[in-house]
């Protein structure tokens, strides 16, 4: 039968482990029972694993930051050299090839940025810190960011929300998630169509809705949409690497929200981003 002393010591060990303050040296082997000794050994191993994990996370953080930093200068130089060449080239074919070089550079730059964000988010290197924010400001910022791309395709982006509701979300990262949804809507919509942004308020959540008039998604493909690097059968010929929706889902998940999609082939697609209205 356990004595109160044994139970108290086991409880103290567990509290120290939970707080991250467990030190094996604090416990003298000669004074411990057999069960206490096994408990100490287990917690010491767990504490060591935790320390190793923290060191690994710091190493990954350093590598990701270094890669992100080191690629900025080459990308900037390529853009600069391309601009200089465009002023010296007159041949139409050479200008076309130069334009393709610039587009491929932009694509590579986007891919590096996306992979950097993905690595930081999955590795727990980014803290998503939800706090009470106005939904209207979130929508206005994301719509303003997507407008230049939409205008190039003569696509109208309509923000129909005029309310003043608030929800708990991380403004920066949720804007990233919403922009990714809007970017897909514009990318897969035909010229001259409309993308509509609206909000539906529920008791516990506010749903930001993005509705397009694009090609739609088959029922079989919908469950795969949020997988990393997945690209639908109708995405051929379109730019992208299949990271945007995955990032959006992970961001919403980290702030206790979620995403739903409703679509039919040939009838457009609607994404709903559910933001928690009350703090957890």
- Read off the CATH number of the domain in which 101 is found: 1.10.287
Instruction: Kindly report the pTM of this predicted structure.
Output: 0.64
Q: Which of residues 101, 126, 151 is at a domain's end?
A: 126
* E strand residue ranges, the chain: 131-134, 156-159, 166-169, 194-201, 205-211, 258-263, 269-276
Q: Which of residues 126, 153, 185 is at a domain's end?
A: 126
**Which are the contacts of 202, defined by CB distance < 8 A and separation ≥ 6?**
277
Residue 253 confidence (pLDDT) above 80:
yes
Residues 146 and 77 in one domain: no
Residues 118 and 210 in one domain: no
The pLDDT assigned to 25 comes to 57
**Which are the contacts of 231, defined by CB distance < 8 A and separation ≥ 6?**
240, 241, 242
Secondary structure element (H or E) that encloses residue 41, with its range: helix 34-86
What is the tally of structural domains in the chain?
A: 2
pLDDT band at 27; cut points 50, 70, 90: low
* E strand residue ranges, 4-96: none
Range of the domain at 193: 131-276
pLDDT digits (tens, 9 = 90+) for 181-220: 999 899 888 899 999 999 999 999 999 999 998 888 888 8
The token pair that represents 36 in the structure block? 């206490």
pLDDT digits (tens, 9 = 90+) for 90-131: 788 888 888 888 878 877 777 777 777 766 666 665 678 899
Q: Residue 184: how many CA atoms within 13 Å on its side-chain side?
A: 29
The arithmetic mean of pLDDT across residues 36-49, rounded, is 64
Residues 136 and 265 in one domain: yes
Residues 152 and 215 in one domain: yes
Contact between residue 259 and residue 178 where contact means Cβ atoms under 8 Å apart? no
Residues 168 and 249 in one domain: yes
Q: Which of residues 126, 142, 162 is at a domain's end?
A: 126
Residues 97 and 153 in one domain: no
- Coil, strand or helix: which one is 127? coil
Rounded Cα distance, 78 and 101, in Å: 9
The token pair that represents 33 in the structure block? 């029972």
């Amino acid at each position: 039968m356990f004595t109160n002393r044994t139970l108290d010591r086991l409880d103290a060990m567990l509290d120290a482990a939970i707080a991250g303050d467990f030190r094996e040296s604090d416990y003298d082997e000669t004074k411990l029972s057999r069960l206490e000794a096994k408990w100490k050994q287990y917690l010491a191993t767990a504490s060591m694993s935790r320390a190793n994990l923290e060191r690994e996370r710091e190493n990954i953080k350093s590598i990701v930051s270094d890669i992100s930093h080191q690629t900025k200068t080459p990308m900037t130089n390529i853009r600069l050299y391309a601009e200089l060449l465009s002023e010296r080239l007159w041949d139409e074919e050479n200008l076309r090839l130069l334009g393709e070089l610039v587009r491929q550079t932009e694509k590579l730059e986007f891919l590096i940025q996306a992979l950097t964000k993905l690595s930081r988010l999955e590795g727990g290197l980014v803290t998503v810190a939800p706090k009470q924010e106005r939904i209207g400001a979130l929508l206005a910022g994301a719509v303003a960011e997507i407008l230049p791309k939409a205008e190039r395709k003569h696509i109208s982006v309509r923000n129909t929300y005029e309310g003043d509701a608030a929800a708990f979300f991380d403004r920066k990262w949720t804007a990233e998630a919403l922009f990714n949804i809007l970017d897909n809507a514009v990318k897969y919509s035909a010229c001259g169509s409309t993308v509509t942004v609206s909000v539906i308020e529920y008791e516990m959540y506010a749903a930001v809705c993005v509705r397009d008039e694009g090609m739609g998604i088959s029922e079989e493909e919908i469950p795969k949409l949020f997988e990393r690097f997945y690209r639908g059968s109708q995405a051929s010929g379109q730019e992208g690497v299949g990271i945007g929706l995955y990032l959006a889902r992970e961001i919403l998940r980290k702030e206790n929200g979620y995403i739903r999609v409703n679509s039919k082939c040939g009838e457009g697609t609607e994404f709903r981003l559910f933001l928690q209205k009350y703090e957890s």
